[in-house]
Amino acid sequence: MRKFFMAGALGMGLAACGGGGDGSVSPPPPPPPPKHVFDLIFDNEATDGSRSLKRVALDGSGVVPVPNAINAVRPHARADGRALVYTSFSTDPLKVPALMLLADFTRPASVLSNVIGVYEREAVFSPDGRRIAFVSQRDEPEGSDVFVATINGDQLEDVRNLTPRASGSAGLDVTPVWSPDGTQIAFASNRDGSDFKLWVMNADGSHARQLTSAGAYADVLPSWSPDGKLIAFQRRSGDLYRIGLLPAAGGAPAFFEFDGNAYAPAWSPDGQRIAFVGRIGNEYDIHSRDASGSGQATRYLNPGADRNPAWIMRVSP
């Protein structure tokens, strides 16, 4: 196994007080800005089959439900921590899953999907919070494409298919994620007829190119490091699921060691940790570990099956 090390820099400064000719004293420097605190959110499947969103502090304390998120999976938080998008699975068998926006945690979520009967899922906010990328079958009922749209209130505007194909052609484009600067989108595709591989394209859909090479494995669920240099992803090889780290410019990935199967990585906004789903035996729990791969993973125990972790900034009400 190749170990992947991330370099960090620690800046230190010295402040000095100096007296002027008139005997005045320079004021002390202002205090540093407060450090952001990030929690984890994830979807939970209870023993009765119901789905809901949960939230937990990084130290594992205080697992609480996310209010007004019903039959919810695959959450993603806006950078300011004040809104979520997620997919809702209706209990009505005649209805397909829909994209939901939870912009006020004290009120019910709004429906973003605006095409009746079309399966739309896997929504993620752009870094500036004004757009989302998502997966939709509105143009390909037998496939799926990556779309982007602007959010205006609880409506989607300027909806655009970034990965259109000839009608009836095979292929699925799934699990999109924005680069930290918002100029690119990474996603997974099986457009060549083989297993899923990672691709990246410009945010307008141009210059799509394959990142992971052909092989007997499937690569999905990319998650960009905040500095834009690495992409974490999930690889399936037979019955083994692992978390890999891939240079965003291309190259060979390195893989985390984990005593079990590991799925669905999510890089913390401060770049320090990667959250993922770990399966040990028949238990699915959220874990997080140092992004360098060193040390032991922290396991967040919670009743039921926990999946699809994401990070959310803690904010005052």
Q: How far apart are CA 264 and CA 279, in angstroms?
A: 11
Which of 228, 103, 85 lies closest to 147 in space, CA to CA? 85
- CB of 62 within 8 A of CB of 56? yes
What is the dihedral sign for C-alpha 96, 97, 99, 100? Answer: positive
Tokens of 177: 């994620």
Strand partners, 86: 100
Count the neighbouring beta carbons within 10 Å of the beta carbon of residue 62.
Answer: 9
Count the neighbouring beta carbons within 10 Å of the beta carbon of residue 281.
Answer: 6
β-pairing, 305-313 vs 298-300, is unpaired
- CB of 85 within 8 A of CB of 124? yes
User: CB-based burial of residue 282 (10 Å sphere; 0-12 exposed, 13-18 middle, 19+ buried)?
Assistant: exposed
Q: How far apart are CA 13 and CA 34, in angstroms?
A: 17
Three-state helix/strand/coil letters over the chain: CCCCCCCCCCCCCCCCCCECCCCCECCCCCCCCCCCCEEEEEEEECCCCCEEEEEECCCCCCCEEEEEEECEEEEEECCCCCCEEEEECCCCCCCCCEEEEECCCCCCCEECCCCCCCCEEEEEECCCCCEEEEEECCCCCCCEEEEEEEEECCEEEEEEECCCCCCCCCCEEEEEEECCCCCEEEEEECCCCCCCEEEEEECCCCCCEECCCCCCCEEEEEEECCCCCEEEEEEEECCEEEEEEEECCCCCCEECCCCCEEEEEEECCCCCEEEEEEEECCEEEEEEEECCCCCCCEEECCCCEEEEEEEEECCCC
CATH number of the 38-313 domain: 2.120.10.30
**Residue 2's pLDDT is what?**
42
Q: How far apart are CA 135 and CA 115, in angstroms?
A: 13
Q: What stretches of 137-282 adopt beta strand conformation (E)?
A: 145-152, 155-161, 173-178, 184-189, 197-202, 209-210, 218-224, 230-237, 240-247, 254-255, 261-267, 273-280
- CB of 125 within 8 A of CB of 149? no
User: What are the pLDDT tens digits along the chain (317 aa)?
Assistant: 444 433 343 333 433 334 444 555 667 676 555 678 999 999 999 988 889 999 999 998 889 999 998 889 999 999 999 999 999 987 665 577 889 999 988 889 999 987 878 889 999 999 999 999 999 999 888 889 999 999 999 999 999 999 998 666 678 999 999 999 999 999 999 987 789 999 999 999 999 999 998 888 999 999 999 999 999 999 999 999 999 999 999 899 999 999 999 999 999 999 999 999 999 999 999 999 999 877 888 999 899 999 999 999 999 76
Q: What is the pTM of this model?
A: 0.86
**Residue 91's pLDDT is what?**
62
